[in-house]
Amino acid sequence: MKRLLSLIALVALGAFGPAQGGDNLPTAENLAALGQQVEREGKPMVVFFYQDECHYCDAVWKEYLKPINRDPAYNERIILRKIDTRGDGAIKNFGGEEVRQQGFAHRQEHTFTPTIAFYGPDGQRLTSSLIGFKGGRDYYGHYLEEGIEEAEAALREGL
């Protein structure tokens, strides 16, 4: 409950507070290297699958992920990245192979946006993905925090 209240406070600060950095979310350019970081640091990878011109994606970014990205406490808990489900940009998948962002999203069955996926070191899913704008503004923060907590627990338990 404390974490949920912290997330709600972060959302309020993100919506009304001054911009202080953390305004850009890096693309998951090398998932194999990020998987090694997950292994080394013991924190799950949280990937935001989005597309341009998706107003729900904009809401998830501005109201939830941007404040999380700015928060050092969350940076200690998770590795947060993004993938454009329509993007032609090259990334490396969990096996180190070069693929297009849209191809990776399609193979992961994350073409509906917004989607938040939670991954372990080898690309295994740690918990169910958060698909769509589940619960709207009233409950999305709760579902997001719940997903992060479940991913942390699954990673600690070694799946």
In 10 A of CB 16, how many CB atoms?
A: 7
Distance from C-alpha of 113 to C-alpha of 56, rounded to nearest angstrom: 8
Look up residue 157 and give its two tokens.
């338990």
Alpha-carbon distances of 145 from 116, 120, 151, rounded to whole Å: 11, 17, 10
pLDDT for 56 equals 96
pLDDT of 159 reads: 57
Specify which residues 125 forms β-bridges with. 119
d(CA 19, CA 150): 30
CA–CA distance from 2 to each of 6, 62, 123 (Å)?
6, 22, 29
Instruction: Using a pLDDT cut of 70, give the percent of the chain over it.
Output: 86
Domain boundaries 2-13+30-156, corresponding CATH code? 3.40.30.10
pLDDT(13) > 90: no
- List Cβ neighbours of 92 (8 Å cut-off, separation of 6 or more): 29, 30, 31, 32, 33, 98, 99
Over 80: is that where the pLDDT of 7 sits? no
The pTM score is: 0.84
Which tokens sit at 45?
A: 């990878």
Structure tokens at 133: 């704008």
Q: Rounded mean pLDDT of the chain?
A: 88
CA atoms of 73 and 68, how far apart (whole Å): 8
